[in-house]
Structure 1
């Protein structure tokens, strides 16, 4: 089997489209079709079920996919190893992130990575915790920065804590309690603005409210933290948001209050442990260890003054 054919096969599988795969790989659609047909002829099975609108993996395609990814990863690892021997680090690095990491160590780490290894190409993908963790587990991403899930990570993943933070309440200054702390038991009387079910923070908030004898009923759900802030500023309700998010730290027309009891959470850097890290991933992790020591972007004491 030709490596290029396997690469194009994986692209079609991930995009569920010959057209999108062609755009991604910068080749013509007939070129992709030719490679897929050659693969199908070689293995003696159809790889995709096709109709006018959809392209889906067949049983044969599902069988081939993990082997194809392993072959591609092995070929890239070999290139990286010989590039390291010549002191020129090359390759690709795919990193997923949840929102709100722009004021943390990530930009600094990537800037240093590019300065040291300009031939490494980095692809950044934003998303929510569960899909990002699955993408790492399945090899679609090399690493991801996510909220720490309530349960265990999938088998075969490693992680390190990169952020210790807490959920805070955003509200109009006239509604701030005297002691500057917002009790969880009072949330049932408020219109809540917070993350939806796709966010890794949603179950963390839900569990904390449950322990306080409350139930999470959000009147407005969005993972867009700047929008959460704007809704709180407009007096729509009380927002429960990540304290370290730049939109929260820069909020001017609401007061940021700690919750009582607090709702702490962590963010993790997650990567696969079952494979030896590629040279670019290893360099990225090493740089995070070096530059992230003073880069935990923990939120400071929330503001209790209107500004």
Structure 2
């Protein structure tokens, strides 16, 4: 057998997977904390900034995928894929992104003051009315589609049986946990830098939850280590690529997971006082690790073929 690395999915697709999963979960979390009035707070400003940030991330990520297409008109084949090939994850994921973005924006619009120069726009008035009247369905539709999008980013890779690194049930779990963790990191940055509301309970809740998620991610990476090192020859090729690369070892595992985990753990257990600076540093490291994870998961995806004659 011989092995070769795929070159079709480059860093543009890694950005798409990163921004897609993270942006979707930012919208899900923002909508949930507002709809449920978590900790009895209003959370409207955080919801607005979170949903607009998530919308922007999904837009940029989808734009990266569209730019990556050699034939840009082929995007219609992706959209119609749910009818032509119902098991095509990229088709279902594309629709979940579209609906999640639309519903999240419609849910958010009624809470944003209308600028004077848009006061004449009847379409904007309609969507504000619609978002107010059907706030519940818009909120839960946004949450469902956003969570589905985060899971889909891992299912997309898991659907390739020729690559052992990708074709295992741990990939969707890893990508979903990472998407949620990076989304919480974005929410914390928004809270400390942009919103600056008196929502200390919510911030501490996010910090505790992200600490758990980073810990779970470390356990999953450890499982991947043993799975790949004890697996097939295909798995061993991916194992050697990942665990001999300093960016994966030190950029992702050490700086992207271990360091923010220790910082967060020290703050949530009150070993050190909670500091906005440390929270932001930890969040930025989590974001860096989230991208490196996807970049190297694509890079280390090795196809296995019989020896050519």
TM-score tier (shorter): under 0.3
Relative to its length, the structure with more helix (as a share) is 2
* Greater RCO (Cα-Cα under 8 Å, separation 6 or more): 2
TM-score (norm 1): 0.24
TM-score by length of 2: 0.24
